Structure 1
């Protein structure tokens, strides 16, 4: 059994405590098996339930029910706990058999909260869809109070429990392929300082914040004075090579398009995929071949396309994080994708982000990423990692786009202007950017793999650069 398999239990075990000051700022909601610890003051019920969904418990509730809760108790059976805080509503506990349970007994799976006789009005409560991102003094972004640990075989279950207890932390999740655990620290923690302090702990290979990366700097810009793009009308023939587009998602009106193989929300797993920004939908259309950049010869590319897996890796505010990207990579691998289209980047790097990209490459994915829309010459990640193909942008006449980044890490350039039927934070129209060039390059890589499934990175780069 994988040494990290013990991290996956029916309900996430959480350990530790927080200080009284932190408790006032942030409610303590801790589920341990079938017992609930609750320290809250003037908190809406919805806030408490959101914390429970983050710990693996399904919640269905009538949206009209959201009283203010004041409570303080420890390790109380969940039935008694709910009875004490729900004065005017009924609830039901749903159990199901869990084969992973050592006793074979049913495990608590779902809580339903409703007014008497109106259980049908209960709706599934989805976790929040946006990351709690904060900017640090050095300009980097990170998810508030979240620490990522990459563990080694020295880290036993007992040792991890002891570490969490010392930190007053909660174990949220684990990414088995890299042995990474995601933990929540007390509210207001200096995550970077804590990561530095425990970096040498036996059993901890890496410790770092869950760094966040903004989409804005590499998103395409609308070209002034250009005519609006026509409605989408092309439905390209597709090969067998799937392109996974890790971006801001997919608009619902494109969900049934013939070139969309699947969609997944890596920010809020289980939620229905959408795209409030439009950028992910733009990139999916280009990767699929439904939209072709200006300057591409019709003879060589008009009928080519690829099936697409659209992954929402950026939230509605335009941020992703290292751990969110790990989830997205897992889905891309499980979906059978062979090309990963990354139309974004950051000047900030991360050891765990680089490890995640290395893992994706080791699973046979060809990674293609944007070089950036500022001609600084500075490396942008993930495009600058050794196992990623960095992409710059060309104008329709084949010249370098004046806003495209450059440098040794830019392996290939491609047309970066397109008429798009979907806008990015705005109207449809003509857009330019290295993100467009990246999605188009991902589509070309898929076409190369359709012809030669055994093509390696060197062969692919030769084909990509032969027509530049």
Structure 2
């Protein structure tokens, strides 16, 4: 406990220090325990609100409102802070207690800004919702000008300030559970080279680019063995184990479905969740039991409540830090199963750490083995704490495009007739992503019967087909 407290306090110091090295044109915006710190000089209100949105606050605003803001204060109660910067418009603060929290005060959930008597004109804040991804030319990618560091608990405030000064960097975020800070480097930095340069710095346990990973979803099925689509599974019951589907999001026409418990945008926290690609919606439907794969049989498990987490942007990329945000949200909101219907051959020490953390918190993680039969390990399926899933055809044979290897622990039906397309039209799709979402539902069903089952027990039941 003492160690975690030291890390948490240290990261708070990190965030306090970061404005020292940010250019004057960049506003400092930080909210902590419903108190706001702001340092802005002629910055657009939309820019300030965008930074609040990045810290998990939903924003709705009349698009006509965007004044220049100049202000400087620290740890001011959020109501007084908003009153001081919004001189000629009204606002409302919406508070909410998290579903998974049994105690504690409600937290600020949403800010609405509007002209008096015109609250209905407030709309979700429009902001950048895609990652700025660099292609390294060797099949790997990273987020432009972003460096991730895992720091030892003994790393001092002075050492951090010196390192930031050396790099010309600023801290833009921190992941307290693992002692990770997210740095923004000067524009156009050679992030891989800088990573190598500082990797052996005393107190820096891990240095990595914010690796980016492309979404390789299922493909339209042609010439595959087909059977009649099985009927949907029964809807989830009250108290059923929750499956978090960390993917490309959820289409708005499904957000009010009875099986959707919550939705969260890990790419752009605070933004309304959508799904431009369709893949996340496909996987949510399968995990929830609204769609059964072909060949699943009459004894398919009942549906599961689903949390849809948008971890991939509209260009089909996610990143290590984005995934850590999503994992954290899943943990905080009572998830038992994490469905990861994608994969990459690029390993990450920091992502592996986040997955170990999720495992230690009791989550069962399942991930796709990949849709190319290379035999190469694909991550996160190949991490030790994850159940790797391959795909079967409707008649129970191995799908010929399913990856293989020691990391593939179980296989499941991988074809489905889907009412939502992936980068295309609805139809029959094939892939280990489908098998993964279906396996996540099977895991949730096992946990419903035996809430204390561990990963080894669950894997044995999956393999035995019970």
The corresponding residue for 1:323 is 321
Structure whose alpha-carbon radius of gyration is higher: 1
CA contact (8 A) 2:311 2:323 kept: yes
Supply the distance in 2 between the matched residues of 1:339 and 1:390 (Cα, whole angstroms). Answer: 14
1:248 and 2:257 correspond: no
Task: Find the counterpart in structure 1 of residue 6 from structure 2.
Answer: 3
Alpha-carbon distance, 1:366 to partner? 1.0
Change (3 A) 1:91 1:167: farther
**Offset of 1:309 from its aligned partner?**
1.2
**Structural mapping, 1:41-440, within 5 Å:** 50=50, 54=54, 62-64=62-64, 77-78=71-72, 125-215=125-215, 217=216, 219-224=217-222, 235-238=234-237, 240-298=240-298, 300-301=299-300, 304-440=302-438
| Contact 2:295–2:396, Cα closer than 8 Å, also in 1 | yes
* Aligned-partner Cα distance in 2 for 1:114–1:446: 43
**Structure 1 equivalent of residue 26 of structure 2:** 29
Q: Which runs of 5+ in 2 are unaligned?
A: 30-36, 74-85, 94-108
Q: SS of the residue aligned with 2:365?
A: strand
Size of the aligned set, in residue pairs, is 426
What are the Cα deviations for residues 102-128 of structure 1, in whole angstroms up to 9, with x where unaligned? xxxxxxx99999899989866563542
Q: Distance in 1 between matches of 2:307 and 2:54?
A: 25
What CA deviation, in whole Å up to 9, does each residue of 1:398-433 have, x standing for no partner? Answer: 111011011111111111001111111111111110
Per mean C-alpha deviation after superposition, the further-off stretch among 428-437 and 9-18 is 9-18
Check 1:172–1:232 CA distance in 2 against 1; reply closer, same or farther (3 A cut): farther
**8 Å contact 1:16–1:165 — kept in the other structure?**
no
Does the Cα contact within 8 Å between 2:146 and 2:185 map onto a contact in 1? yes
Partner of 1:73 in structure 2? none
Q: Deviations over 1:318-377 (max 9, x none)?
A: 111111111111111111111111000001111101111111111111110000000111
Rounded Cα–Cα distance in structure 1 between residues aligned with 2:231 and 2:273: 20
Quick one: distance in 1 between partners of 2:25 and 2:235?
52
Task: Point out the more displaced range, 262-271 or 448-457.
Answer: 448-457
User: For the Cα contact (< 8 Å) 1:345–1:369, is it kept in 2?
Assistant: yes
Q: Determine the structure 1 residue equivalent to 2:439.
A: 441
Which of the numbers 448, 451, 463 marks the counterpart of 1:450? 448
Structure 1 residue 147 displacement after superposition: 0.7
> Is contact 1:343-1:439 (8 Å) kept?
yes
Q: Alpha-carbon deviation of 1:15? A: 3.9
- Alpha-carbon distance in structure 2 between the residues aligned to 1:422 and 1:157: 50
Helix, strand or coil for the counterpart of 2:274?
coil
Query: C-alpha displacement at 1:392, in angstroms?
Result: 0.5
Q: Secondary structure at the match of 2:210?
A: strand
Q: CA 1:57 to 1:435, structure 2 compared with 1: closer, same or farther past 3 Å?
A: closer
> How far 1:31 moved relative to its partner?
2.1
The TM-score, its normalising length taken from structure 2, stands at: 0.80
CA distance in structure 2 between the aligned counterparts of 1:236 and 1:10, rounded to whole angstroms:
46
> Secondary structure at the residue paired with 2:6?
coil
Q: Secondary structure at the match of 2:188?
A: coil
Asked if 2 retains the 8 angstrom alpha-carbon contact of 1:15 and 1:168, the reply is: no
Q: Report if aligned partners of 1:31, 1:55 keep a CA contact under 8 Å in 2.
A: no
Distance 1:368 1:112, change over 3 A: closer
Question: How far did 1:50 drift?
Answer: 4.6
Distance 1:125 1:91, change over 3 A: farther
